[in-house]
Structure 1
Amino acid sequence: MTQSTSASKSENRYAAWLVAAAFIGPGTVTTASIAGAQFGYHVLWALCFSIVATWVLQDMAVRLGVSTKQGLAEAIQQAFQNRGLRLAAVALVIAAIGIGNAAYEGGNITGAALGLSQLTNMSIPLWVMCLSVIAGVLLWFGQSGLIERVLVGLVGVMSLIFIVTVIVAKPDIGALFTQALAPRFDSATFTVVLALIGTTIVPYNLFLHASLVSRYEGDSEAEMQRQRRSNSIAILAGGLITLAIMTTATATFFGSDKSLDASNIASQLSPLLGDMAANVFAIGLFAAGLTSAVTAPLAASYAVCGALGRKPQPQSTLFRSIWLTVLVTGAIVASVGFKPLTAMLFAQATNGMLLPFIAIFLLVAMNQRQRVEQAQNSLLMNALGLTIVLFTLALGARKVLGVF
């Protein structure tokens, strides 16, 4: 095995877990907490849909990356023979991922800054500035160093704490089934439903995952099976963590006279941690936010470079200019004074509206047998993918029409 192959294998080994860590960011913690606090398990159906849809789409991204040795953006570039369609697809990718990630980045930085502001006397805007510099340094010198591994580890610890808290709090399982079997989907729950979908099925993760697994130079069939197994386990774990967050918020806030806000969101960990809940929650929110604040601009660079027909080179001027633009824009969004929880919820809802367009491109790419060969979508995967596209399109259309 050559040195480059060994490096590629090392980089790809935890690709699925990096993707899972990316969607367990502050937006997920916030959105799942708001969903549980306001609506209990009546919106659990949206989380279940999101987990299945995430698995379906990330599985396609894995098969695309391993079989073609290309990222999703490069595949979109080559999927359309008609020049007009190709230019339209490229423009949409740049807008959806470039602009969309800027909004998402604002939520990431806001979440990390909120966590640190609760640990210190420094204001959120000041922490936004500091965190933007830290994220920029991590991106400039590479995202796979010790600092990021520590942050991902902290997110893992935070996730474990939520799961243990659920066990300690002994939630009402009867209420879970009763409410879950009485799903709500109305004007009151609409934004939360869209945000749950947007925070779980993250469009930029499709680009990031395909790009990461495309680097492996060994046996494609063996690597594909390994990556698909890792993807299934990581997505299921991410779904269980999100469910745990929703459950702790439901047990603490739903049906009570308390309303969730930035000052008391950590109280859902009190059954396990008592007076330490606020500090532990703040550390986890910081770690989740900074980890996602690094991966979102990184994915934008992979996506936009590929869409422009340029090979993504982390040290190139173009690659760095893209992530820097996303990072700076996100910092500005995080600094303008939106309420922290509102800003993060809005970012997830925006993601939900962008998703169907990226999913359409992924479906087109996965049905070009001459390029993906044996990795081509089956009839079942196409049916599932089309269902996801139609449902999320309907959600996005309803959101847009609701503005007028």
Structure 2
Amino acid sequence: MASETYEVGGVQATVADLLETYGLGVLFAANVFGAGSVYILADTGANFAFALLWVLPLAFLIDIALHDMSARLAVSREPLTDYIVDYLPGVSGRALIVAMAAMSALWSISNYAIAGAALAWLVPGLDNVLIGILLASGVGVALVQLRVYERIEGAIAAMVIAVFASYGLLLVGLDIPIGDVAAGLVPALTSDIGYLTAVIALLGTTVYWPNFFIQSSMGPTKEWTDVNSYRRDNAAGIMTTLTIGAFVMIVSAVTLTEGAMTLTGPGEPLAESLGQGALYVFLIAALLASFSSATGTLFGAGYMVPQALGHHTVFGDARFRATVVGLIVLSALAAFWLLANTGLTPVRMAIIMPAINGLIALPVTVLGLIGAVNRYGDVSRKENVAFALVALVLLVGSALTAESLATTLAGWL
């Protein structure tokens, strides 16, 4: 019995150590790999084959640079929100932060819409997306209010990552055209509206700007004083999500046909290889990914809004919870309205909402990070050149894709 206790204790200690070392990366991975990522990656693979694979390594480099900046702010105990509010004149800084927090709810709108659709598909007799959205958002509110969400997010992320990592196993049995994959890693831009929309959607869903506000505010919670601890954590999370993203895109390119993405579309390769039961597993994973990302994304707003109003806040306190719960409710109501009054479907929302964030909020966040890290840290000239290149890529990307995104959105509305 004593040896059994020792073994259990050893496992518990190992798990606790892993969560302490990589828990923030798990949180960020869960935020990134939500409904938007799944459907954007599958849709991109189906409609553009391997042509947009080059966006994923670009997203990795951008993510690493931005997380490095937000990690420095975390070590310095200087939240990004505080810098933006102090830098911009009058109430403009507060207004900008509140507007960006509201924009982050676009992800929650799409994620809760997908969660509702998945529940309607999975639960016999439900067959009502609106009721599914109500159930999913209600669970989100309950977990935030009970302050147990952060305890289960690691388990949710592990399950979701395990299911979607199975796409990597499918690669073994598929005839992958290596030359086409290699060609897809060469950057290229065209004037095609769908192509440009897919580029900004991929960047918007993989370079997840709320994570930078979360990380810059996590210093008191993590109690890390060495930026290398954050770098190790970030690199593990980013590499995991983008590797799985490449699996999904490549499998979709080989197995799916061109056309509009459906709710079950990304899971069809799993079903064909493993049987129809795999489709249920996929939708359960999509449901959990949507739920996890919808709620976790709003953690950024949970810091941003109180900070913009001049309050010091920590993860899970009353102001944090009130902000997150308020935005969950608004997200559910907005999802109801959009489904009832526009041509947007849950899958279309999952594709377009990250693109809007990538077009507007991501470049603003990057500029804020560069200014903040230069004010509060010792940044070398080489580092500033690298940061400036990241900002330039995103600003040029926004300028090139704005018209195509607007055209796509207008067509769907």
Query: TM class by shorter-chain length?
Result: 0.7 to 0.9
Structure 1 contact 27–111 (Cα < 8 Å) conserved: no
Structure 1 contact 46–197 (Cα < 8 Å) conserved: yes
Residue 214 of structure 1, CA deviation? 4.5
> Once the two structures are superposed, what CA deviation does each residue of 1:102-147 show, in whole Å capped at 9, x if it has no partner?
2111111122223322222322211110111100111112255543
Structure 1 contact 106–334 (Cα < 8 Å) conserved: yes
Do the aligned partners of residues 400 and 281 (structure 1) sit closer, same or farther apart at CA in structure 2, a change above 3 Å counting? closer
1:52 matched residue in structure 2: 61
Letter in 1 for 2:282: F
Structure 1 contact 305–319 (Cα < 8 Å) conserved: yes
| In structure 2, C-alpha distance between the alignment counterparts of 1:202 and 1:304, rounded to whole Å | 18
What does 1:298-337 correspond to in 2, within 5 Å? Answer: 298-314=299-315, 316-336=317-337, 337=339
Residue 29 of structure 1, CA deviation? 0.2
Give the gaps of 5 or more residues in structure 2.
Answer: 1-15
Letter in 1 for 2:347: L
Candidates 153, 158, 178, aligned match of 2:158 = 153
Q: Please say which of residues 281-290 and 308-317 is displaced more in the overlay.
A: 308-317
> Once the two structures are superposed, what CA deviation does each residue of 1:50-100 show, in whole Å capped at 9, x if it has no partner?
22212211121112111x12322123334x2x634xx3233212102x221
Candidates 73, 82, 88, aligned match of 1:64 = 73
1:77 matched residue in structure 2: 85
| In structure 1, C-alpha distance between the alignment counterparts of 2:248 and 2:394, rounded to whole Å | 27
2:365 matched residue in structure 1: 358
1:40 aligns with 2:49: yes
Residue 271 of structure 1, CA deviation? 4.9
Matched-pair identity in %: 24
Q: Please say which of residues 69-78 and 355-364 is displaced more in the overlay.
A: 69-78
| In structure 2, C-alpha distance between the alignment counterparts of 1:231 and 1:268, rounded to whole Å | 30
SS of residue paired to 2:194: coil
| In structure 2, C-alpha distance between the alignment counterparts of 1:190 and 1:16, rounded to whole Å | 29
Q: Please say which of residues 172-181 and 323-332 is displaced more in the overlay.
A: 172-181
Residue 356 of structure 1, CA deviation? 0.5
1:261 matched residue in structure 2: 262
1:367 matched residue in structure 2: 374
Letter in 2 for 1:296: T
> Once the two structures are superposed, what CA deviation does each residue of 1:126-179 show, in whole Å capped at 9, x if it has no partner?
111011110011111225554333212211212321222223334222222244
Candidates 216, 221, 233, aligned match of 1:210 = 216
Residue 376 of structure 1, CA deviation? 9.5
Letter in 2 for 1:166: L
Q: Please say which of residues 146-155 and 374-383 is displaced more in the overlay.
A: 374-383
Residue 242 of structure 1, CA deviation? 0.8
1:201 aligns with 2:207: yes
Do the aligned partners of residues 400 and 292 (structure 1) sit closer, same or farther apart at CA in structure 2, a change above 3 Å counting? closer
Structure 2 contact 67–212 (Cα < 8 Å) conserved: yes
| In structure 1, C-alpha distance between the alignment counterparts of 2:248 and 2:406, rounded to whole Å | 31
What does 1:378-393 correspond to in 2, within 5 Å? Answer: 378-393=383-398
Candidates 83, 108, 115, aligned match of 1:105 = 108
Matched residue count: 385
Letter in 2 for 1:382: F
Structure 1 contact 205–299 (Cα < 8 Å) conserved: yes
Structure 1 contact 248–268 (Cα < 8 Å) conserved: yes
How large is the RMSD of aligned CA atoms in angstroms? 2.8
1:394 aligns with 2:394: no
| In structure 1, C-alpha distance between the alignment counterparts of 2:94 and 2:155, rounded to whole Å | 36
SS of residue paired to 1:378: helix
| In structure 2, C-alpha distance between the alignment counterparts of 1:75 and 1:327, rounded to whole Å | 26
| In structure 2, C-alpha distance between the alignment counterparts of 1:381 and 1:60, rounded to whole Å | 11
| In structure 1, C-alpha distance between the alignment counterparts of 2:31 and 2:102, rounded to whole Å | 18
Candidates 223, 231, 235, aligned match of 1:232 = 235
1:4 matched residue in structure 2: none
| In structure 1, C-alpha distance between the alignment counterparts of 2:355 and 2:231, rounded to whole Å | 28
1:340 aligns with 2:346: yes
| In structure 2, C-alpha distance between the alignment counterparts of 1:137 and 1:381, rounded to whole Å | 43
| In structure 1, C-alpha distance between the alignment counterparts of 2:223 and 2:380, rounded to whole Å | 17
1:139 aligns with 2:167: no
| In structure 1, C-alpha distance between the alignment counterparts of 2:74 and 2:37, rounded to whole Å | 26
| In structure 2, C-alpha distance between the alignment counterparts of 1:189 and 1:400, rounded to whole Å | 10
Q: Please say which of residues 22-31 and 153-162 is displaced more in the overlay.
A: 153-162
Structure 1 contact 32–246 (Cα < 8 Å) conserved: yes
Q: Please say which of residues 332-341 and 121-130 is displaced more in the overlay.
A: 332-341
1:190 matched residue in structure 2: 196
| In structure 1, C-alpha distance between the alignment counterparts of 2:374 and 2:382, rounded to whole Å | 6
SS of residue paired to 1:70: coil
Residue 216 of structure 1, CA deviation? 3.6
So what's the TM-score if we normalise by structure 1?
0.86
Structure 2 contact 160–288 (Cα < 8 Å) conserved: yes
Structure 1 contact 165–271 (Cα < 8 Å) conserved: no
SS of residue paired to 1:47: helix
2:245 matched residue in structure 1: 242
| In structure 2, C-alpha distance between the alignment counterparts of 1:378 and 1:301, rounded to whole Å | 30
| In structure 2, C-alpha distance between the alignment counterparts of 1:90 and 1:396, rounded to whole Å | 28
Residue 19 of structure 1, CA deviation? 0.7
| In structure 2, C-alpha distance between the alignment counterparts of 1:290 and 1:92, rounded to whole Å | 27
Residue 24 of structure 1, CA deviation? 0.8
Structure 1 contact 169–272 (Cα < 8 Å) conserved: no
| In structure 2, C-alpha distance between the alignment counterparts of 1:217 and 1:42, rounded to whole Å | 42
Letter in 1 for 2:105: A
| In structure 2, C-alpha distance between the alignment counterparts of 1:275 and 1:110, rounded to whole Å | 24
Residue 379 of structure 1, CA deviation? 3.0
2:12 matched residue in structure 1: none
